[in-house]
Structure 1
Amino acid sequence: MKVFPTFVYLLAGAVAAAALPAEKSAVFGMSKITWTGQVKPGEPAVSITGTAEEIYKRITKINPNYDYELGLKSPNSTVTRRDLEPIKKRATTSSDFTCAYGNDVDAESIGVGIRYLYSIANADCAAPPGVPGDGGCSVSSCNDGAGIFLCNDASSELHNPCTIVADNAVEVLIQCQSTTYNGGSSWTSYTHGQIFSLDHSWNVILNKC
């Protein structure tokens, strides 16, 4: 499927059974992710619950220098700005995905959520316990009705590096993107889908929120 240049720019600048039944996909009462990590160098880790955007804004309110000390612009950051080719080649996601799951959401809004996930990616993102077919899901991002869900099929709480959540969201965005021509020079891109971890113990979903 063709990936359009708009989203090359968007992402380069950003740096088992289905776990979330479709009828539950638009429920706003679902839990948000809990992020656990350092906000200031040398201080103990803290836990903050919210969407990636809410968490990032709380972090930078506590420590305005977070980006340069611990985040994306830190010399110790394990997260690098990516363009599409390195994304396609990396090994942190599986090839087990489906574009048939979920409902169309605006791809640019998903890109906004991905950028915020990468901004908090040097720490831990958690999802509640679940069971196969009815996972414990947390909303890691919800922008203009476009959601990124982290879903857990294991019976214990899931703790993943936030960068892996972002990487998997990028994979679905790339593989499951469609574009509608609106006339003139106007195009609108959409995406939705689900990608599973190698052991099928968790998955990431792009869907309405």
Structure 2
Amino acid sequence: MKFYSFFAYLLVGATTSAALPADNSAREVTSLTASKLTWTGQVKRGEPAVSFTGTAEEIYNQIIEINPNYDSELGLDSADAKVKRRDLKPIAKRATTSSDWTCAYGNNVNAESVGVGVRYLYSIANGDCSAPPGSPGNGGCTASSCNSGAGIFLCNDSSNTLHNACTIVADNAVEVLINCQSTTYNGGSSWTSYTHGQIFSLDRSWNVILNQC
């Protein structure tokens, strides 16, 4: 899986499309109470759907243990895959994201580490990602991804278990990643990009958060 080219694609998009960079005024959220993600989807063509629990990366690794050809048959690299690399403009046209996002929530996390999680979410996008029941302000959250302390959380504000296509979670994470990004100059030719924030669904029944994990 070509993570580095994916990082470059996302971060270039962020540089050219950023609307509101993250800042130090964000509400500090040291941790979120979150369960592990449950993914349900097909691992081999023609076979029933199965369920795995873990982060997107852990789930992907479980999938390819069973089917080493998953990527070419059902995953991101398959010939009929509808999941492609995306920048902000095509995502903004999809019904899966909204303009209801804020950078004033959460703590800074490394943008490239978020990019790793996004890539894994897209890689398991033929299945759904679930979150337990919750309520407004007290969502039931799952850690969809956690890479080097950078988490992508799917939080459910409704009283029923949430089942979202994993691509929807990834799309919304990208929306926050691009809109809520700041860059720190480290000297020489070295820069580090950070992000954090929250985005709500159109009906505000669920949200995606980028925060420390």
TM over 0.5, yes or no?
A: yes
Give the gaps of 5 or more residues in structure 1.
Answer: 13-20
- The letter of the residue matching 1:26 is S
Alignment partners' CA distance in 1, 2:112 and 2:205 = 28
Match of 2:155 among 142, 151, 154: 151
- Further displaced range: 96-105 or 71-80: 71-80
Matched-pair contact (CA < 8 Å) for 2:92–2:98? no
RMSD across aligned positions (CA): 2.0
Greater shift, 120-129 or 29-38, is seen at: 29-38
Aligned-partner Cα distance in 1 for 2:107–2:10? 21
Measure, in 1, the Cα distance between the counterparts of 2:65 and 2:119: 18
Shift in Å at residue 32 of structure 1?
Answer: 1.1
Structure 1 match to 2:198: 194
Q: Is this contact kept in 2: 1:8–1:84, CA < 8 A?
A: no
Q: CA offset at residue 6 of structure 1?
A: 9.0
Q: Which residue of 1 aligns with 2:145?
A: 141
> Is contact 1:11-1:115 (8 Å) kept?
no
After TM superposition, give the deviation of residue 205 of structure 1 in Å. Answer: 0.1
The code of the aligned residue for 2:31 comes to A
User: 1:44 is matched with which residue: 48, 53, 57?
Assistant: 48
Structure 2 segments unaligned to the other structure (5+ residues)? 13-26
Q: Output the CA distance in 2 between the equivalents of 1:135 and 1:164.
A: 18
In the alignment, which residue of structure 1 is the partner of 2:97?
93
Matches within 5 A, 1:100-115: 100-115=104-119
2:9 aligned residue: 9
- Quickly say closer, same or farther: Cα 1:187–1:88, change in 2 above 3 A: farther
Task: Single out whichever of 98-107 and 29-38 deviates more from structure 2.
Answer: 29-38
Could you say what secondary structure the match of 1:133 adopts? coil
Aligned to 2:60, what secondary structure does the other structure show? helix
Which one of the candidate residues 163, 171, 175 is aligned to 2:175?
171
Q: What TM-score do the two structures reach when normalised by structure 1?
A: 0.87
